[in-house]
Amino acid sequence: MRLFRKLRTYMKMVFLYLTKRIVRREDYREEYNIAASTYHIWLKKMNKHTNTILKIDHLKNQENIHILDFACGTGYISGFVLSALKDPTVKITAVDISDKMIEIAKGNISDSRCSFIVRDGTDFLFGEEDEKYDAIFCGYALPYFNHKKVIKEFHRILKKNGTAHFITNCKGTLKGIDEIYIDTMKEYSSSLNKIMEIGYQLPKNQNDLKSWFERRQFSTVFLDTVEEIISYSSPEELYNWLKNTGAIAGTDHIFSDEKEIIESIINKIENRCNCEDKYCTNHKFIQGIFKKK
């Protein structure tokens, strides 16, 4: 029975892949639009790690600095940088695919030095001129893109010696949660609607991320791997955190009726993610700063 279920799930996934039933950028936009109003929950727990890549002393004595906040979300990075750089000639371009995220970012930032654009990140990069930016910042968004394409574009649009500041999830993040979704897909294979590719786009480790950038003629300035444990008193609270922060964005589109399987997922969290009277998973990620050669 187990073998049959596994085979049936595999065949359904192959069918979905061949028919291009894959979670796309429009699906992520939809889910991040929903998560925008609760994204502050993510920021409360994870900002301390984002701060590590916001090393901008090398920009403080320069004029006419132009910075790209790529996949800016609700604008935390842009707000931090604007507070640190008082020069009136500084410009920040903040782009995100989610109009609701941008709407909140505009409410958070009233500084005229920052302009906001609602657009898919890859499409935006392709339209930018060569050597335009002094620095690029990207928080937790790299796996949503084809890294070969976007890192090539980052190199093209950065000025010589420009810096790229990244924090990105890596393999081993959300321990237990990915297995829960895989097993639920087997259990509800008849309800499978789309498949997700984002898990295959995560860097394996910090050396993997380093190689991605160094292949595109970047040198490594800073690199580290960090893990944050996410724990709550009930499986429902942990699930709600994952949903409300966008940590599992895209999963709403895996099943034809996601509401049907929520109870099954929460039950699995209760059985598998128990740790010392709490329910937990992890966020494992890499912090990196790279300089264009």
Q: Which CATH number do you get for residue 180? A: 3.40.50.150
- Partner residues linked to 225 by β-bridges: 286
pLDDT at 20 over 90: no
Rounded Cα distance, 238 and 136, in Å: 32
Ranges 61-70, 160-169, 179-188, 193-202: which has the least confidence:
193-202
pLDDT at 167 over 90: yes
8 A C-beta contact, residue 288 and residue 222: yes
8 A C-beta contact, residue 230 and residue 241: yes
Q: What is the largest CA-CA distance in the chain?
A: 67
8 A C-beta contact, residue 120 and residue 54: no
Per the model's pLDDT, the better-predicted residue between 124 and 198 turns out to be 124
pLDDT category at 173 given cuts 50, 70, 90 is very high
How many structural domains is the chain composed of?
A: 1
Spatial CB neighbours of 176, under 8 Å, sequence gap ≥ 6: 269, 272, 273, 281
- Partner residues linked to 274 by β-bridges: 279
Q: What's the domain range around 115?
A: 2-292
Q: What is the pLDDT of residues 267-291, one digit of tens each?
A: 999 999 999 899 999 999 999 999 9
- Amino acid symbol at 283: H
Q: At what angle do helices 206-214 and 147-157 cross, to 10 degrees?
A: 50
Per-residue pLDDT at 199:
67
Rounded Cα distance, 246 and 236, in Å: 16
pLDDT at 7 over 80: no
Per-residue pLDDT at 192:
87
DSSP code of residue 142: G
